[in-house]
Structures are given as structure tokens and as C-alpha cells.
Amino acid sequence: MAEFTRDFLAAWSHIRLVADEYLEVDDERVVVLLHYSGSGTTSGLDLSEVGSAHANIFHIRAGKVTRYVVYWEYGRAFADLGMSE
């Protein structure tokens, strides 16, 4: 995971991750709706132009994250949780 994160971050200039909303699903799960901003290091591509809204689900037990799931689309995260957007 660390290697992937390093490689991902290296591809972007001025990358920023912004949490837009936190949703408590139950006692052990939290959904974070977020978006990225920044531009491609080589291409100059603006992340906001390619759809940068994502969702992360954190599974928490005894105050520690036990599972972390990244979704590139809100809808898929809500569908996996059996919720509507």
C-alpha cells in the first residue's frame, strides 16, 4: 500500500485530498466522501476535470482501522453498504 501511495502521489503536482462529508454507517463503519484536487506532473491534467469525487469506507474496531476500502465512485460504495446516495 505504501508503494502504491508513493507512486500515485508522484504522478501529481499539488495534490490535495479534501473530505467533504463523514457518514457514520454503524458502530464499526464510517464513510468519507471526498475529492482530489491537483494536476498531473507530466500532463498538467486537472483532477477536477476528470471526476475526482470518491468515497472511502473505514472499518473500525476497538478504536483502530481494521479495513480501509477505496471507491472511485460514490454509487459503488453506497451499493456495497446497501444504502442509497
pLDDT digits (tens, 9 = 90+) for 23-33: 999 999 999 99
Domains delineated in the chain: 2-81 (3.10.450.50)
Instruction: Classify residue 21 by burial, with Cβ atoms within 10 Å: 0-12, 13-18, 19+.
Output: exposed
Selection from 54, 20, 52 nearest residue 38 by Cα: 52
What is the pTM for the complete model shown? 0.74
pLDDT digits (tens, 9 = 90+) for 31-84: 999 988 888 888 888 877 776 688 999 999 999 999 999 998 888 999 999 887
Helix%, strand%, coil% for the chain, nearest 5:
25, 55, 25
